[in-house]
Amino acid sequence: MKFSRRAFLKTATAATPITLSMASPAQAWFFKKPKKSYERSQWLGYQFPSAKSAMIFSCGIASGDPSPTGVLLWTRINPEMIRDGASLFFEVSHSPDFHVSSRVCEGQISAEKITNRDDYTIKLVLEGCLDPVSTYYYRFSYDQSYSPIGRCRTLPEKNQSFSELNLASASCQDFGNGFYSAYRHLAHNQEVDFVVHLGDFIYETTGDTSFQNGALAERQFQLSTGSLIAETLDDYREIYRHYRKDIDLQEAMAAHTWIMVPDDHETANDFFWDYESDTPVMPDHPIQSLTSENDRLEASVKLRLGSQKAWTEYVPAQVDFDPNDLNPFTNLKLYRSFEFGDLVNLNMIDTRSYRSAPPCGLETIGGRYLPKLRCDSYKEYGRTMLGEEQKYWLFNRLNDNDSVWPVIGNQTFMGRLGLQSPKGAVPINVDAWDGYEAERRELIHVMQDQGHNNHIVLTGDLHTYIASHLKLDHDDLSPFNWSNHVGAEFMTSSITSAGLNDQVLAAICNDNRVLSQGLRYTAEALIRVQNPHIKRFNSKDHGYSMFRFRRYHMEWLGLTFDKNIPHSEAQIVHHLQKVRHVPWVTRSPASEVDAKIL
């Protein structure tokens, strides 16, 4: 399919992505033999053509939320470089040289669409313009200056026979806690087809020792207000701009197409929805200390609305968002799905926006974490992690699934993470799915009803590499009760955010690394003994994960980097596999492809 058509986009509202739709040319694909995998090629690098270009496109470019015939493109124009009446132009091509013979589509976005209403960000949806299972190159130009070149991909057609897919997953990238070496490597990892980001793209705090306890001096920044925590829409925007100016993150977002959901830190730590007051609650945010209940509720709503608006502006995601709806419970729908032919059905869920209050109180220790032994409210029916509408959406998606691998992109650990007591296993972290036990059982029952154990859950949040069997009854230790196993869960560690090992090193061991290592190995051994369904638990390393999905097996690779060193080298610290229809996670042998990744 080759065509060139200039589209003048002047009618879309600035609060929503600008959509370019060309349905007819995509029909040409049906006369071609469908591809069963992606053609992977070396990333040619990320460069600004000029100093002026680096100023104009200071937050880089990105692509996200692919479909079989389209993708979303993103950029931001630096307001200091705005020129009256200047339009933004874009090009999409089959090749990075943008020769006229390889050009697919081009167009312009008029000057009146580039405004402070969306903080000068632009989201362009190309739908019906591209071929399935294809790689394209794109770039923008403004005021006679080109952006760097980006690369994007499209999905296979629904139910198309598909043989292989490689996903990367990442989460928790606190800017002040380290360098983005993992993203530099990810940009050049030619085995990756798409990137799945599971949340905590930003942290609402800057220099708060509660989170930035492993902070590097050269990575610190302050809000222009002097506050240590985001309190307004402008604060969130400022934080996003600072993160998006990191050149390694920019390159990774330009090199791959991303599929993203937020976790809690895009708003505030461990926030939840209070169904009684019909407002969000941020237990660790300073607004929680406001003495007037009305002031506290009003401030919470305003803060949540600001965080939602900033996320929709700075993340390349095509989601349902109504900025005129001032109810943060209803104005943004983040959960959505992506079908990679008949191989993988990826359901991205939102476990923050609709969740009930913590079951054992708002205290950090004794409440949300290491709850009091006498508390068993986490077992109660009616407590929800997903909210009613999203829960039944997910259940229906799983019931209707025809793919080999049904996959859930999830924020907090879905398995049990507990310690044995006279009362039986008690949870360590009720901010995760352990705090919503009844709804978790509902979800696992739906998975079990599918009659197979091929469900895969991708998780972030805990800054730890975990591989775990996904089970209905964790107290049933028999490996041969196949009906009790529904699949596997793989948690990726943080890109930079402090893990358990970092926290122990700073708080208990006074930077004594020998003592820290001893405590770490003791803690990890204890976790695995107390939770035999957990096959890997690594709270020391930082990096990203890779997932190779094939017709008869899938593999998980954990790649780690020294976050304290810019451009550190990669190591593969975990490599496990799960065979289709076999419940167990087992060690995977190294391959030649592993060497290519490194």
Angle at 573 between CA 562 and CA 487, to 5 degrees: 130
Please report the domains of the chain, with CATH numbers, ordered by start residue: 6-153 (2.60.40.380), 164-597 (3.60.21.70)
Rounded distance, CA 15 to CA 20, Å?
A: 16
- DSSP-assigned beta bridge partners for residue 586: 577
Rounded distance, CA 515 to CA 305, Å?
A: 44
Which residue has tokens 């730890």? 464
How many Cβ atoms sit within 10 Å of the Cβ of residue 326?
A: 11
Cα separation of the two ends of the chain: 35
Structure tokens at 459: 């998780």
Which residue has tokens 């169904």? 275
pTM of the model: 0.94
Q: Kindly give the interhelix angle for 233-244 and 247-255, rounded to the nearest 10 degrees.
A: 80
Rounded distance, CA 308 to CA 311, Å?
A: 5
DSSP label at residue 266: T
Which residue has tokens 């610190």? 220
Whole-angstrom CA distances from 484 to 322, 381, 533 are 42, 21, 12
Angle at 341 between CA 338 and CA 346, to 5 degrees: 30
Rounded distance, CA 20 to CA 138, Å?
A: 15
Structure tokens at 200: 């905590």
Rounded distance, CA 230 to CA 239, Å?
A: 8
pLDDT at 525: 82
pLDDT at 212: 63
Contact 146, 254 (CB under 8 A): no
List, run by run, the mean pLDDT of 10-residue segments along the chain (598 residues). 39 52 39 72 92 98 98 98 97 95 94 96 95 97 98 96 97 96 97 98 87 77 94 98 98 99 98 97 95 95 98 98 96 98 98 97 93 91 97 98 97 95 86 97 96 96 96 88 94 93 62 63 83 94 98 97 94 96 88 67
pLDDT at 369: 92
- DSSP-assigned beta bridge partners for residue 383: none
Q: 280, 284, 282, 272: which is closest to 211 by C-alpha? A: 284
Contact 528, 539 (CB under 8 A): no
